[in-house]
Structure 1
Amino acid sequence: MRKKTLLALGAGAAVLALGLTSCSSGGGGDTGDKGGDASGEVEVFTWWAAGSEKAGLDALVDVFNEQHPDVKFVNGAVAGGAGSAAKDLLQSRLQAGDPPDTFQAHAGAELQDYIDAGQVEDVSDLYDEFGLRDAFPKDLVDRLTVDGAIYSIPSNIHRANVVWANPTVLKDAGLDPAAKYETLDDWFTALDAVKAKGKTALSIATTWTQVQLLETVLLSDLGTDGYNGLWDGKTDWKGSEVTDALKDFEKLMSYTNTDRDGLDWPDATQQVIDGDAGFNVMGDWAEAAFAEADKKSPADYIYFPVPGTDGVFDFLADSFTLTVGAPNPDGAKAWLETVGSAEGQEAFNKAKGSIPARTDADTSDFSEYQKTAIESFGKDTIVSSLAHGAAVPVATLNKISDATSKFTTGASDLAAFQSELAAAVEG
């Protein structure tokens, strides 16, 4: 296997960084004729099967049908938040020689696995054909480039370190919804107040949402340099600072709902919408869930960066590939054209709660939250999300997820948890 070097996103740089670069020679494949010549069926493999994720996909498909009426969209969506079930099935299909035409993957270290395995084509020529080198930020294009080749087209940009809260629940607990929480310790006091009123203080769901909570705690307690150091080897996973962060994670988990492992993220977010929980840490795809429930901010919900992470944008991006051996490469190319188009990105992101990767997209009618995310992305320090494939390869994330699940279900103690996390990253 070719050697690769994944660069962690540098702290203090308010530019996009996907943690994706390389130092070896690469190659690409023939991407077929122009998307405008496509016909037949195109299977698009995603994990957008429900809620605001499906709404975003549906909006994108509507644009695709307008732009490419001769191509029939085949929905290959597999349910399961953050794509854990979908990724397993996808890998089985790729290894069995039964690939979809195109599949969703998180940009960053997760995409590197597919590149190393020779499972995705070089789509650099599409960037020229579709004018994407001018439409996307130069830093984005640079970071997506591996040995002069690009392997995916991003559909959006998401932020993972966001707290969503129900102001009515907070008021009932004697809290000011406009209050600022500078540190996790400040937030613990508020969580105690909500818990004392008999509400779930912090709603959460299955393992991947717990890993996302973990990454935000690590980011809060270690700072951007320390957090980035977890992925480039400069921060000692066995050190006392990590121990303290894991203690904070353990304390946060004590505020969560006991049915968490049987839920997915829409269920946890719904608890805040319904007023059954005070707070929820979720990526900004939750914004669309509040909109779908006809909730307005700040009357019905509020949002802010996870305490201790103000000024940091915990980044992830969904992107689409052209699969090696795609049954209909022209159809896949047509889909990629829509994904990268201004019309596609505007429709998709407005529905999903994320922000466009294109700098020329019309976001004038986006939500107030999305406008704040666009502003933050332009000025904040960018770091790579752990739970969403930007910071580490899939195999490492799976080990971290397994260790987290053992810890949160009581199958291991904190010392064992820390040791297993260290082993997952180091080996």
Structure 2
Amino acid sequence: MRGGLSKTFAVLSAAGLLAVSACGNSGDDSGDTASKNVTVFTWWADGGEKAGLDGLVSVFDTNCKDYKFVNSAVAGGAGSNAKQVLANDLQSGKPPSTFQAHAGAELKDYITAGQVDDVSGLYKDFGLDTAFPKNLIDQITVEGKIYSIPANVHRANVVWTNPKTLQKAGIDAAKAPATVDAWIADLTKLQAAGVKAPLAISKGFAQEMLVEAVLLGELGTDAFNGLWDGKTDWAGANVTAALNKYKTLLTFTNVDRENIDWPDALQYVNKGQAGYTLMGDWVAAQQLSDGVKETDYTYWPSPGTAGTFQFLADSFTLPTNGQNPEGTKCWLKTVGSAEGQKAFNTKKGSIPARSDAVPTDYPKYQQAAMADWKKDKIAPSCAHGSACSAGQNNDILSALSQFSGAQDVAKLQTALGTALKTS
């Protein structure tokens, strides 16, 4: 496979590499202290993500007393900053004890580069082969092996609304439009009612998530999943039609979409400056952290995707030649444990990967998500690593950034198909 980590390395200038190297592993001490350190590399530096990490650490400190947690989080960029630092560390042969990654195809580049070890045996050792649902294990298995342990499951295909804003346009916020076309009709109503940006969106992966939601809603689960395993043709007329509807959706979005991040888009909705935003269910934790009342927003699966759970999973790896492998295994055991997943997910806004979690331990949204996870069809997300490799995702993000300006559907469709064939 061409591309992969080399693409990540290529974007870093020599000066950039020098700058980020100082931010890398923080556990390079010497002596007995270093032998106990478990350096955990994440992008969970603040908000609900940091609170979730703190929950995991509290369980690790109790159950792994022989080891010391060392926080090596890198903030910003929805993980993009952290991934650049990690790429430098791995290329330099200085892997941390463990690093955060999205479970599934995103790991292919690390696997090809020989930078992560197979942890399939740990699934049996820790009882995860029975604690995790089979559909999740199948989704994150790469060529018959598993290379990470998920801490959670997030849902990507969620629309968040402002009921008061929708009500002004005569729209029922509790009822999801059945199709993308019906959603476009509602967006038109909002625009006519004077809402300047009916659909709030942000840069980068948020646009990729919207494209995926439209493709999923228009193609259906099986054909959408086929886009990632080669069974569905990216050049097909159904893909063309879906991308044209994505182009239409962009006409209802905020003009600063290339300059803001997803929390800013969410604030447009909260302030009544937009009716909708599409974002993963970490929004629930953000709303809780911001003190937004549950009565002030509603949520539902993106139009046309009811009955499908588009998933992603934050997970942790066992790096090849990483620091303190025995301590790392204790961390991985904590990540997969019932206690660890409860401590993490009740604060993170995600749901546990384990099937034996108790729904009443979680807030309202997570209870609903847990029920859907058990009954819905499952679809992966390229934007969040479960459907495609990092190299493929880089190419897709580049194509979408170009499309945000030029909006040439034929060019976008060709670029998406090429990304999956050549990256």
What TM-score bracket applies, with the shorter chain setting the length?
A: 0.7 to 0.9
Over the matched positions of the two proteins, sequence identity in percent amounts to: 55
Q: Distance in 2 between matches of 1:415 and 1:156?
A: 37
Q: Deviations over 1:190-213 (max 9, x none)?
A: 212223323421111111110011
Q: Deviations over 1:142-198 (max 9, x none)?
A: 554556643211101111100011111112233222233101111112212223323
Q: Deviations over 1:185-243 (max 9, x none)?
A: 11112212223323421111111110011111111111122212212223222222211
Q: CA deviation at 1:343?
A: 1.3
AA partner of residue 56 (structure 2): L
Partner residue of 1:85?
Answer: 81
Once the two structures are superposed, the pairs formed by residues 5-84 of structure 1 within 5 Å of their partners are: 40-84=36-80
3-state DSSP of counterpart to 1:364 = helix
Q: Distance in 1 between matches of 2:258 and 2:89?
A: 27
Correspondent of 1:417 among 379, 388, 412: 412
Partner residue of 1:126?
Answer: 122
Q: Does 1:219 align with 2:222?
A: no
Partner residue of 1:233?
Answer: 230
Q: CA deviation at 1:274?
A: 3.0
Partner residue of 2:259?
Answer: 262
Q: Distance in 2 between matches of 1:179 and 1:169?
A: 14
3-state DSSP of counterpart to 1:277 = coil
Once the two structures are superposed, the pairs formed by residues 310-349 of structure 1 within 5 Å of their partners are: 310-349=306-345
Partner residue of 2:203?
Answer: 206
**Comparing 102-111 and 125-134, the one that deviates more:** 125-134
Is 1:39–1:330's contact at 8 Å kept on the other side of the alignment?
no
Per the alignment, do residues 143 and 161 of structure 1 end up closer, same or farther by CA in structure 2, a change over 3 Å counting? closer
Q: CA deviation at 1:105?
A: 1.1
Q: Deviations over 1:288-326 (max 9, x none)?
A: 1112223333x2110001001111111111110111111
Q: Distance in 2 between matches of 1:246 and 1:340?
A: 38
Q: Deviations over 1:337-365 (max 9, x none)?
A: 21111111012111111110111223313
Partner residue of 2:371?
Answer: 375
Q: CA deviation at 1:130?
A: 2.4
Is 1:45–1:104's contact at 8 Å kept on the other side of the alignment?
yes
Q: Distance in 2 between matches of 1:50 and 1:409?
A: 32
Per the alignment, do residues 143 and 203 of structure 1 end up closer, same or farther by CA in structure 2, a change over 3 Å counting? closer
Per the alignment, do residues 143 and 88 of structure 1 end up closer, same or farther by CA in structure 2, a change over 3 Å counting? same
3-state DSSP of counterpart to 1:313 = strand
Is 1:215–1:385's contact at 8 Å kept on the other side of the alignment?
yes
Per the alignment, do residues 404 and 366 of structure 1 end up closer, same or farther by CA in structure 2, a change over 3 Å counting? same
Is 2:104–2:141's contact at 8 Å kept on the other side of the alignment?
no
Per the alignment, do residues 336 and 181 of structure 1 end up closer, same or farther by CA in structure 2, a change over 3 Å counting? same
Is 2:176–2:301's contact at 8 Å kept on the other side of the alignment?
no
Q: Distance in 1 between matches of 2:340 and 2:260?
A: 31
Q: Does 1:391 align with 2:383?
A: no
Q: Deviations over 1:369-410 (max 9, x none)?
A: 111111111111111112111111111111111000001033
**Comparing 205-214 and 167-176, the one that deviates more:** 167-176
3-state DSSP of counterpart to 1:150 = coil
Is 1:162–1:305's contact at 8 Å kept on the other side of the alignment?
yes
Is 2:195–2:273's contact at 8 Å kept on the other side of the alignment?
no
AA partner of residue 231 (structure 1): W
Per the alignment, do residues 40 and 407 of structure 1 end up closer, same or farther by CA in structure 2, a change over 3 Å counting? same
Partner residue of 1:11?
Answer: none
Correspondent of 1:289 among 286, 289, 292: 286
Q: Distance in 1 between matches of 2:115 and 2:47?
A: 29
Correspondent of 1:277 among 264, 268, 274: 274
3-state DSSP of counterpart to 1:42 = strand
Is 1:127–1:133's contact at 8 Å kept on the other side of the alignment?
yes
Gaps in structure 1 of 5+ consecutive residues: 3-37
Q: CA deviation at 1:74?
A: 2.1
CA RMSD of aligned residues (A): 2.2
Per the alignment, do residues 143 and 241 of structure 1 end up closer, same or farther by CA in structure 2, a change over 3 Å counting? closer
AA partner of residue 351 (structure 1): K
**Comparing 97-106 and 286-295, the one that deviates more:** 286-295
AA partner of residue 49 (structure 1): A
Q: CA deviation at 1:131?
A: 2.4
Q: Does 1:161 align with 2:139?
A: no
Q: CA deviation at 1:49?
A: 2.4
Q: Distance in 2 between matches of 1:45 and 1:232?
A: 30
Q: Distance in 1 between matches of 2:227 and 2:286?
A: 32
Partner residue of 1:252?
Answer: 249
Q: Deviations over 1:27-77 (max 9, x none)?
A: xxxxxxxxxxx9622211112223322222222223222333443322222
Scaled by the length of structure 2, the TM-score of the pair is 0.86
Correspondent of 2:90 among 86, 89, 94: 94
Per the alignment, do residues 80 and 176 of structure 1 end up closer, same or farther by CA in structure 2, a change over 3 Å counting? same
Q: Distance in 2 between matches of 1:73 and 1:255?
A: 46
Task: Kindly tell me the number of residue pairs found equivalent between the two proteins.
Answer: 391
Q: Distance in 1 between matches of 2:119 and 2:289?
A: 35
Q: Does 1:174 align with 2:167?
A: no
Q: Flag the structure with higher helix content.
A: 2
3-state DSSP of counterpart to 2:360 = coil
Shift >4 Å, 4+ stretches: 142-149
**Comparing 313-322 and 118-127, the one that deviates more:** 118-127
Per the alignment, do residues 340 and 387 of structure 1 end up closer, same or farther by CA in structure 2, a change over 3 Å counting? same
Is 1:81–1:265's contact at 8 Å kept on the other side of the alignment?
no
3-state DSSP of counterpart to 2:252 = coil
